[in-house]
Amino acid sequence: METRELRYFVAVAEELNFGRAAQRLGIAQPPLSRAIQQLERRLGATLLDRTSRSVTLTEAGAVLLAEGRAALDAVEAAERRTRRAALPPTGRPGLVLVTKASASRELLAELLDAYAAEPGAVPVDVILCGPGEQERLLRQGRADVALLHRPFDSTAGFHTEELSTEGQVVVLPAGHPLTLRSHVHMADITGLPGLPLPRWPGPDGSYPPGPGPQVRDHAQLLQLVALGRACAVSPESCRTQLHSDLAAVPVLDAPKVTTVIAWPPHLRSRAVADLVRTATGLR
């Protein structure tokens, strides 16, 4: 199977429309139809059920969509990492680290400082991204290491080392009655009148149904809390980033949040190993 065929199939499977998929791929529709037919013939599998009005995935098609995306990510990672390895060492980022924009600045700063002090340290580029994007960046080879937060982020398919664990707090508008309490429980804050918990997008970018405002990142969320439109349960370390119009109260029975450092398993570079060792040795 060639990556071209995979790319074509993924495009059609995502659009469920040959014309639009062809447009997205920058080719005409007939060659695309033919390519998919040939792929189906070679696999001995019907991937799409097509009538002249609609296209739907078969069971096999759904499998190929999931596996094909992973395979294309792997190919892209190979290409990207090779390109980077070939750059002249001057100015080339030795490591690309990705973390959520909302993550604790302290831990990151501490890690970068400690690593920079190591003998043989290479320059580290930092990418900040929204929740849920790190995984893809790692898998596509755009980044080498990530700081992830269990249980929010999936560590599927990566090597990880735990760095720290912390409890969670509920973030409320300053002056809310609950802010007088020394601590609360989850039951105290679910269904708080006028302050629903927000909804985060799933892996496919769509939001689950239900009440609560839709948010894409932590800054949006804090904005909503300050506006009195939501409340948020976040790791303790976010307290250092709260403005005075927000208050935080520990939630005793919220799940603990573990910060882990994660990297693709087959990445066997000295720099990654050093960084991980530095990270695990921090405390």
Could you say whether residue 41 binds DNA (CB under 7 A)? no
Q: Dihedral of the CA atoms 140, 162, 99, 152 (nearest 10)?
A: 90
Question: Does residue 155 belong to the site contacting DNA (CB under 7 A)?
Answer: no
Percent of the chain that is helix, strand, coil (3-state, to 5) = 40, 20, 40
User: Considering only residues 51, 90, 206, 244, which one is a binding residue for DNA as defined by CB under 7 A?
Assistant: 51
Could you tell me the smallest distance in angstroms from the CB atom of residue 242 to its own copies?
34
Stretch that binds DNA, among 29-37, 64-72, 150-158, 162-170 (CB under 7 A): 29-37
Q: What gap in Å lies between CA 201 and CA 214, rounded to an integer?
A: 8
Label the pairing between strands 124-129 and 95-100: parallel
Nearest to 256 by CA among 159, 152, 183, 176: 152
- Size of site (CB under 7 A) for DNA: 22
Instruction: Name residues whose C-beta falls within 8 Å of residue 204's C-beta, 6 or more positions apart in sequence.
Output: none
Spell out the residues 6+ positions from residue 107 whose beta carbon is closer than 8 angstroms to its own: 147, 163, 164, 237, 259, 282
- By CB under 7 A, tell whether 194 contacts DNA: no
Q: Which stretch binds DNA (CB under 7 A): 28-36, 62-70, 208-216, 223-231?
A: 28-36
Instruction: Write down the least CB distance from residue 201 to DNA, Å.
Output: 26
- In the complex with its own copies, the residue whose CB is nearer, 69 or 216, is 69
The reply to whether 18 sits near DNA by the rule CB under 7 A is: yes
Return the structure tokens found at 248: 């935080």
Applying CB under 7 A, which of residues 24, 45, 50, 159 lies at the interface with DNA?
50
Nearer to its own copies, 151 or 157 (CB): 157
The residue within the footprint of DNA, chosen from 11, 36, 195, 246 (CB under 7 A), is 36
Question: At closest approach, how far in Å is the CB of 266 from its own copies?
Answer: 5
Distances, alpha carbon 64 to alpha carbons 24, 36, 50, in Å:
19, 12, 17
Q: Which is nearer to DNA, 16 or 127 (CB)?
A: 16
Q: Do you find a cis peptide bond into 209, omega within 30 degrees of 0?
A: no
Q: How far is the CB of 89 from its own copies (least distance, A)?
A: 10
Closer of 16 and 129 to DNA (Cβ): 16
Applying CB under 8 A, the residues found at the interface with its own copies are 1-4, 6, 43-47, 58-60, 62-64, 66-71, 73-75, 77-79, 81-83, 85-86, 141, 154, 156-159, 264-268
DSSP string, 248-268: EEEETTSPPEEEEEEE-TT--
Least gap, CB of 204 to DNA (angstroms): 20
Helices (H), strands (E): how many in the chain? 9, 10
- Among its own copies, DNA, none, what does residue 3 contact (CB within 5–8 Å per kind)? its own copies
Euclidean distance between CA atoms 255 and 185, whole angstroms: 11
52 makes contact, choosing from its own copies, DNA, none, with CB < 5 to 8 Å by partner type, with DNA
| Residues of this chain that bind DNA (CB under 7 A) | 4, 16-19, 26-31, 33-38, 50-53, 55
